[in-house]
Amino acid sequence: MMKLIVADDSRLIRGIIDKAVASIGFKAIQADNGKEALSLLNANKKDVSLVLLDWNMPFLNGIDVLKNMRSDERLKDIPVLMISTESEDNRIKEALNIGAQGYLTKPFTPEKLIEAIELILNSSKSQKTTS
């Protein structure tokens, strides 16, 4: 079973994501802040296929987690989907420029989430085969 890390300070959102990703064969490892997400990543890096990051979280926000991942040799290739209420274009561009593979704004439907995940996983597969 594929694993992903979902980092969001809302238990409700984590629950919605958990259910949605289970329907496509993922086990969600839940973190309620960015610091926890990074330690889970370090502990599970070989097994994690994807990270879903909320922007606004306590201790370490999603952008800081993303920057950490992209500067860490062991984590830099794990795809990231930002999920946030931050919907301004400049925020979305910032996340994508730092290295997120996708961006989903809240509120979202489970269908939209699954669509975004599949897009990212398919594009990261094709990048691996071409590089």
Structural domains of the chain, ranges and CATH numbers in brackets? 2-130 (3.40.50.2300)
Peptide bond into 79 cis (omega under 30): no
pLDDT of residue 130: 54
pLDDT of residue 80: 98
For the beta sheet containing 2-7, the strands, ordered from the edge strand earlier in sequence to the opposite edge, are: 26-31, 2-7, 48-54, 80-84, 102-105
pLDDT of residue 128: 63
Per-residue pLDDT of the chain (131 residues), as tens digits, is 899 999 999 999 999 999 999 999 999 999 999 999 999 999 998 999 999 999 999 999 999 999 999 999 999 999 999 999 989 999 999 999 999 999 999 999 999 999 999 999 998 777 766 54
List of residues 6+ apart from 15 with CB closer than 8 A: none
- Chain mean position to CA 14: 12
4, containing H or E segment: strand 2-7
**Phi/psi at 80 (5° precision):** -125, 135
pLDDT of residue 117: 97
pTM for the complete prediction?
0.94
pLDDT of residue 85: 93
